[in-house]
Amino acid sequence: MNQPTWYALTGVILFSMGIHAFVIRTHLVRRILAFNIMGSGVFLLLVAIAHRIPGAAPDPVPHALVLTGIVVSVSFTAFGLVLLKKIYAKTGKTALIDPTESTSDQTN
């Protein structure tokens, strides 16, 4: 058990908590936050497994992947928040699923 393994374990825990919250929450801001936590867990795992040989320089390919992933995740966060503001302005709701009524009789 060395330092990158420790951080990889943290990434796995963060991913599990994020996907749990992503499934059970319906508020869209909470879903976006949970999605960001999930992404952070995956990035942490990727950078931690880039240290393959202890003491040597880390593998640069996962670093490039993670850099791209951070930029993509922040652009998707911005896009999701703009969609959320549009949904709120049109319907006054902050969730796509209304938990008080059943969804079986809806067509779309």
Partner 1 sequence: MTALTWIFDGLLTAAMVYLAWSLLSERDLFKAVVLFIAFGLLMALAWVRLRAPDIALAEAAISAGLSGVLLLDAVGAIRSPNPVPEDTSSDSG
Residues in binding contact with partner 1, number by CB under 8 A:
53
Long-range contacts of residues 46-51, Cβ cutoff 8 Å, at least 24 apart: 47/7, 48/4, 48/5, 48/7, 48/8, 48/11, 49/4, 49/8, 51/4
Judged by CB under 8 A, does residue 72 bind partner 1? Answer: no
Q: How far is the CB of 56 from partner 1 (least distance, A)?
A: 11
Judged by CB under 8 A, does residue 45 bind partner 1? Answer: no
Beta bridge partners of 95: 27
Q: Quick check: 37 and 17 in contact, CB under 8 A?
A: yes
Judged by CB under 8 A, does residue 66 bind partner 1? Answer: yes
Per CB under 8 A, residues contacting partner 1 are 2-4, 6-7, 9-10, 13-14, 17-18, 20-21, 24-27, 29-30, 32-34, 36-37, 40, 43-44, 47-48, 50-51, 58, 63, 66-67, 70-71, 74, 77-78, 81, 84-85, 88, 91-95, 97-100
